[in-house]
Structure 1
Amino acid sequence: MKAKIKILLTLLTIVCQTTFAQEIKVSGKVLDKLNSEPLEYATIIFIAVEDASKISGGITNEKGGFNITIAKGSYDIKVEYIGYTPYEIKNKTLTENTSLGTISLSEDAQALSEVVITSEKKLVSTKFDKKIYNVSKDLTTQGSNALEALNNVPSVNVSTNGGITLRGSGNIRILVNGKPSGLVGISNTQALERLQANSIESIEVITNPSARYDAEGASGIINIILKKGRVQGFNGSVQAVVGNPTNYGISANINYRKEKFNVFANGSYAYVKTPGDGFANTVYKDENNITTGFLNERSTQKRGGHNFMFAFGSDFYFNDNNTLTFMGLVTKEDNDNVGDIIFDTYGSDSNLLHTRLRTDNENEQDASNEFSLTYESFFDEEKEHVLTVAAKYDSNKEDEHSFYNDTFIFGTGADAKDRATTLETQSNLLFQADYIFPFTENGMIEAGYKSNFRDVSYNFTVEEFDSNANIWNTNTDLSNQLDYIENIHAIYGQYANKFGKFNILVGARIEVSDIDINYFTTNTFLKKNYTNIFPTLHLGYELSENDELKASYSKRIKRPGFWELNPFSSFTNDLNLESGNPDLNPMFTNSYELGYLKNWEQVNLNATTYFQHSTGLMQTVTTQTGRFTEDDIPILISKPLNIGTENRYGLEISTTYKPNSWLQINADANVFGYQQKGNFLNKVEDPNNQGSFIDVPETIDFSSSSWFARVAPKFQLPKDFDIQLRMIYNGDFKESTSYRKSVFVTNIAVNKELFDGKGSLNLSVSDLFNSRISRIENYNTSFSSYGKYQNAKRQVNLTFTYRFRNFKEKSIDEEEDDDDE
């Protein structure tokens, strides 16, 4: 019996060894022949020569690569990609691990002219170091702007007042096409509100960037990629939108491509008026916690106007390995913003003292220009050994004129007229070079240099009207002028390699920051210089073909911005001022992540836990100014301070579930918490000297947690109808001096394809239940307040899109050849 068992085991061993010995791996890469871009989801098919019924194969990854296990033998190999001419290899004998090298596919003009191609892009895809949100795949963004599109991106949250956070933190860096841009402007939120979502190809979220990226942005980077057509022939789309509240717009994307060049353009015009309202009730107390007065504020506003954007450029293909790209961008805006604030002032006995109406009529004209030149040179067929050199210049100008009228409706008080003029100009000059050298099939060394020269000029003038003399007098206490110069130079290097199932990316970046501020009003000069090293480490381990572990570390910085260093106050609300702080220093963050990625046939799951430790924490703190109105109402001021340290931690989960051909569900959730420790000086009334104020140290030892979640089901219905819902929930959020209550928002869109897929009609409703309302409590030892604000109402948009493609072009020589035949 034992002899039989030994014989059986021996036979099984031989069979197993023979079976595994018969398997080999075939690898390679599939690229677009004209621009050498990788073709993701290309199909590689192996058909056995001796038996055509035996077929095996696979698809390419995001880099165009493939690594397929097949049995030894002779095969007919076919490489296919929709709209491209197939590539075939006949009767190829494969007896060992083989690389087919780089396979370049050419577009099939005839096939593309006869077939309507449906994009295979996912709404959200996950790469090794980032998440990519494809804007065009989200029906709810049709006819909207970039800020609304950002609110649909995993990990990103946009508050009701336009504040952008990444995993609950506002310390982020926003780029356009991978670089700082004048399109974002001096004020991120304002510019993104006016950038049409139809102009955006995708949005990348990089929570723990490698050394290749700027170290700016303590919590990560948001990179907005604009559309840039590269399809052969003449192609494009036009889109028109009409909406309520007022939203009218038209946009177009076109490109014309031949073998040696590609020309592309993207333009949009929109007229938008966004209404909003809110209120805030404040209670003032003295050092003994006795109420001294009340202030109720009610506000309405309508913001917006005309805005125009035109992006254009060209690719010049000198040969297969050398490309020169030029891009330009021009934007213009002309906005008329109106707002009213009613102040009801009460005494400590709750008796109404007076009611004041403050009206604000503002005209804002903004313009920006941007031009870039990029040269890319490849030194190998695989397009992995590459040198990229780029230069970019952009400028931005904001010209605002505001007129304020104060009228006392009830009680006594002097009516007043004020006006404010703001002129801001900004210019950026950037030089950058990156070099990648692949020293083995999986190994790579990368190095680069970058310099960015930024110059901001700010001139703010406040004038008060003297009705007796009928003249305008400058308010020297509020008017100010300054120049801000920021030069940042960086070099970096990183090493990447793969050892079996383990991959590593390690690098370091050195940045030299040189900041000069000239305060003309006070005749003072501020200089800040610091040099810092920012190490990064990314690790990955493939547990199997469908699941992977990844870990990363990076050191980041949050430099004080121009506004945060401007010590002069805003003037919109004369009882609640806002200002910067010239003594503000950078915040540094050490960021750690551990993630797990799993793919099943119908589901993919991405889970990441993270921890961030920050020093020099920046936080906006509201205190008294020590000044009062005529009715003894304290005037408050909010400004950023370095208050201490913060530990931030959380768990983020995102998933895509596609159970069948007509339903796909995207969902993500983020649970996070933090602990802050520090102190600041709080201005309070001197108990020993009534009417005088002193600075008293106040300690912060505070922890809190919150969460937000999104669910977006999409239904494909008969008759070419699609329906998409997006439900967003932001939980309660508490900070050391404020408390924000939860918000739940629902968006819905219905899309109908027309003209055999060439056109579409989209009806979308943003904030279906009109529930996107911010409810905030603020508190200090000297006051407490509760406010409710809605900066944008429910928005209904109807959008029509028409797409066109033309491939049936012939040269004169081709026509003559046809005639000869």
Structure 2
Amino acid sequence: MKQLSLLLAITLCISTFSGSVHAQFPMGGAAPVKALPGTAGDQTPKGSAKITGFVVDSSVTKAVEFASIALYNKTTGKAVDGTIADEKGKFILNKLADGNYQILISFLGFKNKTIDNITLAKGQDLDLGVIKLSPSVQTLNEVVVTGQAAIIEEKVDRLVYNADKDIAAKGGDATDVLRKVPLLTVDLDGNVSLRGSSNIRVLINNKPSTIIASSISDALKQIPADQIKTVEVITSPSAKYDAEGSGGIINIITKKNSLQGLNLNVDAGVGNRGSSLSLNGNYRKGKAGLTLGGFGRANYNTITKTNMDQTSISNGVSTLIRQKGDGYSEFLFGQYNLGFDYDLAKNQSLTAGVRYGARNMKSQQDLITELYNNGVAGTGSRRDVDVKNLSGTVDVNLDYLHTYKKPQQEWSVSTLYSRNDLTNNFDANILSGEGNLLSRQRNLNSNLNQEFTLQTDYQTPIKKNQMIEFGGKGIFRQVNSDYRFLAAGSTGDFTTQAGQPAGELLYHQNIAAGYTSYTYTTKKRYTFKGGLRYEHTFIDASTREGGPIGVADYGILVPSLNASKTIKGTTLKLGYNRRIQRPGLQQLNPNFNSANPQNISVGNPALRPELTDNIELGLSKTIKKVFINASFFGRYTDNAITQVRRPSDTLSGAIITTFENIGRQQAYGTNIFANIAFTSKFNVGLFSNIFYTKMTGQALGLNGVTQDFTNDGVNVSGGLFSQAQFKNGWGVQAFGFMQGRQVQLQGFQGGFAFYTFGVKKDFKNKKGSLGLAGENFFSNRFNIHSELKSPVFNQVSNVYLYNRGVRLTFTYKLGKMTTDAPKKKARSVNNDDVKSDGAGQTGGAPGGTQQRNR
């Protein structure tokens, strides 16, 4: 058991970077480990000899990542050096003195391998070639882990946040986890941005979903926090990834179980604003594995109060609108999955899965509106609005993987069918000042988004320091939106009114793509990864009333280049890439959403894609007990897609929000993260995101003439993360985050703050735990103050969010598992290519996002 505990501790404290392994700062752990315990450290005799080799799994001929290699002096029997194999199974022992040695190679789930009678001469370069480890199946008793995974890991093209140590997120969803990830900003509605850009792609286990294309914030609410293992922030995607996502890619990796046997995990939580229940089972025997799981969450007592002053000028008349709103919302989310994997042969595997996600969001808002024309009071009104936002999503995948005798050589074929049925309706009652029902309105909007994807990828090493990858992909996507606006008196049936919006959008988007990527590592450990990707998009768009929409086909060549080097313990990264951002479903949807008639939203089916050039320089270093990561970036976007507002031509005082290709957008800034381990069980993390942004575009100006607009400013956000562990299974965790105001083309959106504190107690047998977490408990509400300006309108709004909360969580594990050699499963499709409505404007109107067109 001591050996197993030691092996786990070492493995969990290692971070792989650019083909060479460097110990990172462990969360709550000790300083980085450079060699296995028992080495002589700096007293080890140095020389000029070197030993290299590759460690592979003998059963499937694939690399054994992070295998431990210990070098022993045969004369003394003592360990003199050690290292960890990288992601390709390669290891290097440098600066060895001449003499006789013995090597011990070990990894959890495999039998130890000893290589005896190694004799080194001065300056000798000994290549041990491919070393095969045999799987070892054994029953596990209690395992004592003496180290913890690094909270942040740096890789050549991404930053990895290990989320499975999060205490306070128990019973929460993915938004609770993403708030704690450096480089990301998550507002109080769940809208995500990366380095100030909301033009990102979110994947789940490297796979997309049509629900994410509709709304990132809604999709994240369906993922339970306690099922998330890691979050990968890919700031400089290689050519293998789809060209979509000008800000970058977020890949959420959920927990997987590769053990043999049967187990069942039960997670439950209850609080004053939400409750959840999750059941997840795994069964594996021999070559076959089966997973079955379900998650449900209910949100309630979500109260919002708003007020707004909105001034607009039209035809020489100045109109002032004053609104006050009281609203509440109830959410029900569910996600159910069934997965199957089977080893066809020792080098072939098949993976299949079905996932269903359901969303039931209902909100109600009472709006009181006062109207003034040139300072003279007009007729006031009251409006009661009920909004229903419902969806059902089905994802079906089938994937095949073939590996070869050569390590890291593989070929895969992946397929995915995804369908999202979305309904976004509202009913409004218009009342007099005395509360008498005057008339009724209804908006019916049904959407269907479905796609089929087929892709194939192949990779093979060239010599020992080079890798080539290439592949192709086809996406066949169809979007339908059917919308109608109906009206009725205080009694009677709803009917279509002349001049009221109604129609249907049919949008076909097919994409053909091919890529090649090449990785080269020099003798001095410089790593370069470059690639080219070409994507051609075919569009056929039309409306039932207007016929074809003039959106032409287009092609784009996307280059990428990443380089890295470690110098005296400091890792440097330099990356460049070009990205494309296609418009998403809700940005295209021409439905005229007038749930609040003073703040109307409508999509634009004629949107063109935007192109972005990104460059970043990053560095990371461990100084004693402090791990520091800093990155500096620049981003230039042409044809940028953003929200644009203008006064309505037909409704007095109303503001219409739509999406346009405004022109240019620039951003320059820095992200800084530091983690400090005061002791082995207490650590504090600090992070900040600071960037300057400038937007240039066109919008409606005076006298109905389109004018050029420019807005710029500095965006600042930051936070603190702390965790402590105590005896008898007790642990606490605290998190705080603050977002400053955000610059927009026509003004700014107000900032906000968010903080949590959690306590957890593990049961004695480690099979269960109880937790208690509180959110924003010092303040009853939080105010988001926003201002939007142009020559023809001015809007000042306040949204008061009542989000003080507390929740109790419970976790228990049933079943008994045994270890098995980890198998590499078939690679899945990842469509990172559609822009989401993730830039929703909180506070743009009374009711906040309750007014938004989703």
- Structure 1-normalised TM-score? 0.88
**1:749 counterpart residue number:** 758
Which one scores higher on RCO, CA 8 angstroms, separation ≥ 6?
A: 2
What residue in structure 2 maps to residue 781 of structure 1? Answer: 791
Structure 1 CA distance, aligned partners of 2:56 and 2:485? 59
Which of 670, 673, 678 is 1:654 aligned to? Answer: 673
AA matched with 1:303: E
* In 1: Cα distance, 2:234 partner to 2:802 partner: 28
Quote how far apart the aligned CAs of 1:312 are. 2.2
Say which of 48, 54, 68 aligns to 1:43. Answer: 68
In structure 1, distance between residues paired with 2:512 and 2:705:
40
1:210 and 1:138 mapped to 2: Cα distance? 30
Name the structure 2 match of 1:16.
none
1:135/1:141 contact within 8 Å kept: no
Q: Does 1:298 align with 2:325?
A: yes
In the alignment, is the contact (CA less than 8 A) between 1:205 and 1:220 conserved in 2? yes
Equivalent residue in structure 2 for 1:192, among 204, 216, 220:
220
1:280 matches 2:307: yes
1:409 to 433, 437, 455: 433
Whether 1:270 aligns to 2:297 is yes
SS in 2 for 1:509: strand
- 1:329, distance to aligned residue in structure 2 (A): 0.8
The residue that corresponds to 1:153 in the other structure is: 181
Structure 2 partner of 1:701: 710
**Structure 1 residue 279: Cα displacement:** 1.6
Does the CA contact (< 8 Å) of 1:294 and 1:347 recur in 2?
no
Q: Structure 1's 50 and 166: CA in aligned 2 closer, same or farther, altered over 3 A?
A: same
Taking the aligned partners of 1:252 and 1:178, their CA distance within structure 2 comes to 23
Alignment partner of 2:282 out of 231, 255, 263: 255
Aligned to 1:644: 663
1:391 partnered with 2:415: yes
Letter in 1 for 2:684: I
The 5 Å alignment of 1:238-637 reads: 238-245=266-273, 247-273=274-300, 275-286=302-313, 292-305=319-332, 307-346=333-372, 348-349=374-375, 351=377, 353-382=378-407, 384-410=408-434, 415-467=438-490, 470=493, 472-474=495-497, 477-500=500-523, 501-544=525-568, 546-628=569-651, 633-637=652-656
- Give the secondary structure class of the aligned counterpart of 2:432: strand
Q: In 2 relative to 1, CA 409–549 (structure 1 residues): closer, same or farther, beyond 3 Å? A: same
- Name the structure 1 match of 2:731: 722
Q: In 2, are the aligned partners of 1:77 and 1:89 still within 8 Å (CA)?
A: yes
Superposition deviation, residue 439 in structure 1: 0.9
Residue 93 of structure 2 is aligned to residue 68 of structure 1: yes
Within 5 Å, which residues of 2 pair with 1:661-680? 661-680=680-699
Q: Which amino acid aligns with 1:596?
A: L
CA distance in 2, matches of 1:572, 1:276: 18
Distance in 1 between residues matched to 2:522 and 2:369, nearest whole Å: 68
> CA–CA distance in 1 between the matches of 2:74 and 2:621?
36
Aligned to 1:223: 251
Matches within 5 A, 1:106-117: 109-110=137-138, 112-115=140-143, 117=145
2:197 pairs with one of 169, 173, 178: 169
- Segments of 5+ residues of structure 1 without an aligned counterpart are 1-18, 685-693, 811-821
Corresponding position of 1:6? none
- C-alpha distance 742-726 of structure 1, shift in aligned 2 (>3 A): same
Local SS of the residue matching 1:571: strand
Q: CA deviation at 1:647?
A: 1.9
Q: Secondary structure at the match of 1:627?
A: coil
SS at match of 2:545: coil
- Give 1:227 deviation, angstroms: 3.1
2:235 and 2:744 map into 1 onto residues whose CA distance is: 22
8 A contact 1:333–1:367 mirrored in 2? yes
Query: Which one is further off, 706-715 or 21-30?
Result: 21-30
Letter in 2 for 1:309: Q
Residue 798 of structure 1 is matched in structure 2 by 808
Q: Distance in 2 between matches of 1:73 and 1:184?
A: 59
Query: Which deviates more from structure 2 when the two are superposed, residues 576-585 or residues 113-122?
Result: 113-122
C-alpha distance 433-57 of structure 1, shift in aligned 2 (>3 A): same
Match of 1:681 among 700, 703, 716: 700
Partner Cα separation in structure 1 for residue 802 and residue 450 of structure 2: 31
- For residues 161-187 of structure 1, what are the alpha-carbon distances to aligned partners after superposition, in whole Å with 9 as ceiling and x for unaligned? 332211011111222222321352522
Q: CA deviation at 1:715?
A: 0.9
- Change in CA separation of 1:92 and 1:267 when aligned onto 2, cut-off 3 Å: farther
What one-letter code is carried by the residue in structure 2 that aligns with 1:756?
Answer: N
Structure 2 vs 1, CA of residues 765 and 277 (structure 1 numbering), >3 Å: closer, same or farther?
same
CA pair 559-137 structure 1, distance change in 2 beyond 3 A: same
Describe the SS at the equivalent of 1:272. Answer: strand
In structure 2, what residue type is equivalent to 1:371? Answer: V
Change in CA separation of 1:698 and 1:132 when aligned onto 2, cut-off 3 Å: same
Return the offset for 1:591. 0.8
Determine the C-alpha separation between the residues in 2 that align with 1:36 and 1:255.
25
Q: Bigger shift: 429-438 or 524-533? A: 524-533
Is the CA contact (8 Å cut-off) linking 1:401 and 1:422 kept in structure 2? yes
Residue 618 of structure 1 aligns to which amino acid in structure 2? Answer: I
Measured against aligned partners, the alpha-carbon deviations of 1:535-584 in whole angstroms (never above 9, x if no partner) come to 1111122213x222211111111112232233342121111101122332
Q: 1:697 to 1:401 in 2, by over 3 A?
A: closer
Of the three residues 25, 28, 52, the one matched with 2:53 is: 28
| Structure 2: distance between partners of 1:577 and 1:605 | 46
| SS across alignment from 1:583 | coil
* Aligned AA (1:725): A
The corresponding residue for 1:121 is 149
- Pairing partner for 1:59 from 81, 84, 94: 84
Are 1:465 and 1:472, in contact at CA under 8 Å, matched by a contact in 2?
yes
Give me the whole-angstrom Cα distance separating, in 1, the residues matched to 2:645 and 2:721: 38
Distance 2:335 2:133 in 1: 35
For residues 789-821 of structure 1, the C-alpha deviation after alignment (integer angstroms, 9 at most, x for no partner) is 2456123221111234524799xxxxxxxxxxx
Distance 1:507 1:311 in 2: 35
Letter in 2 for 1:279: T
Paired residues of 2:70 and 2:83 also in contact (CA < 8 A): yes
Q: Which has the larger radius of gyration?
A: 1
- Structure 1 position 634, deviation (Å): 1.4
